[in-house]
Structure 1
Amino acid sequence: MSSKDWIEKDFYAVLGVDKSASSDEIKKAYRKLARESHPDHNPGDPRAEERFKAASEAYNVLSDPARRREYDEMRSLFGSGAFRRGARTGQGGAPFDVSDLFGQAAGGAGAGDRRFGGGNFSDLFSSIFSGGAGGGTGRAAGPTRGRDVEAEVALDFTDAVRGVTLPLSLRAPGVCDTCGGDGAKPGTQPRPCQVCHGAGVTTRNQGAFAFSEPCRNCQGVGTVVDEKCPECRGTGGVTKTRTLNVRFPAGVADGQRIRLTGRGEPGERGGSPGDLFVHVKVRPDDLFGRTGDDLTLTVPITFPEAVLGTDLRVPTLDGAVTLRVPPGTPSGRVLRARGKGVARRDGPAGDLLVTLDVVVPATVSDTAREALQAFDEQTPSAAREHLDVRVRRNG
């Protein structure tokens, strides 16, 4: 990415965040845009693909604290317009451009020429910010790490608890299979650039300083393709679908992000590939819930079972377990089945928490009504005694 891109592109506006946004806010905004504009969700929509690329480019800069700081500094430097063409000298003179000044100092370049010693003025700052001063190669010519890729996978509740391996199909840039990534037509090879001699950069001396910039002849690659690959048109990369087998560990939770190192987009010029981040969404189960490593289950019991007690057989994810309901159990009591929750590879399994719900029938037979009335007469209750005292006191 050139310094011109940094100056002209408002990455904060691309992501829809304020300049003072935190790292978490930037990440959240990027994820939302990436999901909405991902090519898999918008097949055949070039505008969505452009939005996806723009969001990825903005996040690639703003997610790195060092690069974000450089970006903010450069935008601040040029924000006032002091170095732009058209800024006046203050005495009503002709438009002044700092690049014109350098062009004149280099000799042979007129005031209207924006080149500095044969290089664009923005390349001066590109060299400074990329370590190009002193004859260094700079970022543009060296290996570039591939971008990170994000995907979302929905898991069944049972698979999330037990762990599962699933195939994941991704549609993302990859190396062209026809040319092997070198961009040349099969049967031909790229040739070393005659301008930079394969280095990818050219260095220009200006007095006591030396400035490097990407070679304009080969675009910083170091090689030139005379006959381009018909598949990728000389770029060396194509958008294609690839399938990965992703292992989701036992106990993976809803909203968790799994990182697969080196499974993102391939790097450029020998750079390492980016990473793949898989966001997990867990579908709810019709019986079980989850709280951390514990599974939860609500079980209805009858009034006689609550009063007299019973042995209750309840399901688990891999079978069943018997729990003792003691006599006089109120509705809402929680019974615990130890070790029947979420299994962990690095620790003990969670528990199954069973909440008892005493069911009151809406209608009863005459015989049942008589039995309940007899039960009520034989079991006087002081459950509301504290309320009755207040009622009598208030008259």
Structure 2
Amino acid sequence: MKDGSTEHDDISFLCLFLYADGFFGIEQVSSCHFQMIAPEKQICRVLTGRTAEWSRLTDNTRDNILAVSIRHGVHGLLYFALKKYDLLKDLTENQRAYFQRKITQQTGVELQRSHALHKVLSALAKESIIPVVIKGEALAHTHYQRSSTRERGDIDLFIAPGDISQTIITMTGQGYYIPGPLYKSHQFSCLSRKENRSGCHFDIHWRINNLSRFAKSISYPDALAESVKLPGVDHGITLCEEHALLLACMHLDGFRQTDRARLIWVYDIHLLLHSMGEDTLIYWAESAVEKQVGDACSRSILQARHYFDSPVPESVWMILKKQQPAVSFGDRFSQTNLGLLIADLQDLPGSRARSLLFLELFFPSPDNLLALYKKTNRMWLPYLYCRQIIQGVIKRLSLR
């Protein structure tokens, strides 16, 4: 930011520049959402080694930065960056103590998480199930200097639809229970019965992403075929870097119209961009365009460049900002809610799984339906079932 300019001025200039350069359309400029308030801005500067202003901040400002770093899941990264640049001395005694408690807690959780992952992968391997470890858990081992600094609340695994039933049996045998639906969200949660608050819970995905547009962008067979070994984890494999970056971009873009996006997700993209050479990034960009998610990827890496000055070769931008190829009706249909529902019915094994999918979408259990609409009186059920069926038909059978 230039001296005398405001953050709003810089953001406006960036959006107008992208419009003038043909990268954004006018509707994208009007919805440009790179609004970074001061705490996030200071965090990004420290994480990228731009620390000149840190010593001039007030204690109250640092309190706010610490709170924001926890909300965005980057407090571990911030702590070790401050330590690296000898800036912990600028914190108050209470701030240092709080930071150190959080880091100690993260380290303990990491040990428990590592043990849980090893046990689950070993148990699944005995059943000839090969899950692909994805998202934060995988990146913690492949791209973070300290895996404990990649904050995450659960462990994400990607499996084949045909392995859902046996995975449920295996996870139950390992001391986990499944609190919610199995099929409607293309994933299910496995929570530890010990209630130990260790974060050792699992999200099992049978589609790579929950949104209809992204759900089939990486199939399980493709993920498995191009997978790589997960360092330090027995039976552990993960996505290749091209798939990992594609998933990270789609995940971040899925939250772009909400206030739930987190800096840790942007930092994932930053690390992936740093580790991939230009030839690999060109191949990745061409693949993203071919899969019709180039616009989502360009928005996400633009955030990484904006927040962390991530290096993106001009050749990659040229591919991503090219006119998208014409999409056939069949390809467009496959990315709609109805197209995905048809694909789900084709991919799920057996009539029982397909029947359960329909029940979850349109006829959930009475208790789940009451909980969904925050009601307790069962007299609401006839009305709620009518509402659920109508909304389900509108959403799931739509061409959106």
| TM-score range normalised by the length of the shorter chain | under 0.3
Larger radius of gyration: 1
Higher helix share: 2
Higher strand share: 1
